[in-house]
Amino acid sequence: MDSTSRILLDRVQRSFPLVSEPFRALSEGLEIGEQEVRTLIGTLKEEKIIRQISAIFNTGALGYRSSLVAMAVPENELDRAAEVVNRYPGVSHNYLRPGNFNMWFTIAVPPGKEIGEVVAAISAEAGGWPARILPALKKYKLAVVLDVLEDGDSEITEEKAGLPPTESTSRFSPTAENIDIVKCIQEDLPLVPKPFALWAQKLGMSEAELLGTICDWTSNGTIRRFAAVLNHRQVGFRANGMVVWNCPEDRIDRQGDILASHPEVSHCYYRPAYPDWPFNLYAMIHGRSPEECETTAKKLAEAIGMDNFRILFSTREFKKVRLKLFWD
């Protein structure tokens, strides 16, 4: 990619302009016009570098409950189990990672449903394999912002370490209008000069009303951010590893804050431990190779003074989609 493409990617994944003509705003300082920006974004989507530009919601603020789940599946049953797990609409990510617990998926269940009951039903249908529910007891960092810039690209938009997790400060009202807005703005933003006006027209409201709602939901934490999500592999980050530690509970907040301060870490959580899975501190890292991830993991371990870590590399992708909220 050339410098213009890299700078544009940096902008759209960090903070997409919530204005009437966002692509015109993105063109400022790029020496290309609004039409060229839309064309370039379209090309980056065709090349599967940009997955989607949309609202990224705080599912908990909308009444959903979510968790990471680890399942122990025999190798010869993986495809069948993955088919069952992936069938549930609340499963957005599902990966194979080596180890006793080898199928790792994220799940969100709507209001009125219990995660334990849903996971038990999925596990039973998949073959009755052991599953461990690992919700985030505390979030120290949640921001997949890949550093795509190279030396000579003059673009600094936000702190390189990324964004801290934003918790909702107000309760989402599940009115028919609000649910329609969520279902609309979780989809890919249209590549037209005034995309929010097009969305507003479909929703039967004014552009100003829609933008005001999006800004309000972003400021109160209902929307974590409105931004692009990139395809890690297509921009060179071909390896990712989930680094886990068995951390003493009285040190976990301090260690989590230290890990979150490192730009190589995109996610950092405190999760429950089990007798057969004693790890409670998780840091997700991305690198251009497994070796780079291993170097990063050692650096993180040194920073928190704990070398009892394990790296779980993603070796197969069973499912990776944007979670659709309020599915029918």
Model confidence at 152, in pLDDT bands (50, 70, 90)? very low
Only one residue has tokens 């479909």, namely: 202
Global model pTM greater than 0.85: no
Model confidence at 160, in pLDDT bands (50, 70, 90)? very low
Give residue 239's pLDDT: 81
**For the segment 96-123, what is each residue's pLDDT rounded down to a tens digit?**
999 999 999 999 999 999 999 999 999 9
* Averaged pLDDT, 27-43: 94
Give yes or no for residue 156 having a pLDDT over 50: no
Model confidence at 187, in pLDDT bands (50, 70, 90)? very high
Give residue 328's pLDDT: 62
Element (H, E) at 242: strand 239-245
**For the segment 222-251, what is each residue's pLDDT rounded down to a tens digit?**
998 899 988 766 555 678 899 999 999 999
Indicate left, alpha or beta for 255 from its phi (over 0: left) and psi (-120 to 50: alpha). Answer: alpha
Q: Which residues are catalytic?
A: 93
pLDDT, the chain, mean:
89
* Averaged pLDDT, 158-170: 49
Model confidence at 150, in pLDDT bands (50, 70, 90)? very low
Give yes or no for residue 153 having a pLDDT over 50: no
Give residue 234's pLDDT: 58
Model confidence at 162, in pLDDT bands (50, 70, 90)? very low
What percent of the chain is predicted at pLDDT more than 70?
Answer: 89
Q: What are the residues whose beta carbons fall under 8 Å from the beta carbon of 121, sequence distance 6 or more?
A: none
Helices (H), the chain: 3-14, 22-27, 34-46, 78-87, 115-126, 176-185, 195-203, 207-219, 252-260, 290-304
Give yes or no for residue 177 having a pLDDT over 70: yes
Give residue 307's pLDDT: 93
* Averaged pLDDT, 267-277: 96
Give yes or no for residue 254 having a pLDDT over 70: yes
* Averaged pLDDT, 8-33: 92
Give residue 144's pLDDT: 61
Give yes or no for residue 131 having a pLDDT over 60: yes
Q: What are the residues whose beta carbons fall under 8 Å from the beta carbon of 278, sequence distance 6 or more?
A: 246
Give residue 167's pLDDT: 60
Q: If you write DSSP's letter for every residue of 43-91 in order, what string do you get?
A: HHHHTTSEEEEEEEE-GGGGT-EEEEEEE---GGGHHHHHHHHHHSTTE
What's the distance, CA 75 to chain centroid? 27
Model confidence at 88, in pLDDT bands (50, 70, 90)? very high
Model confidence at 170, in pLDDT bands (50, 70, 90)? low
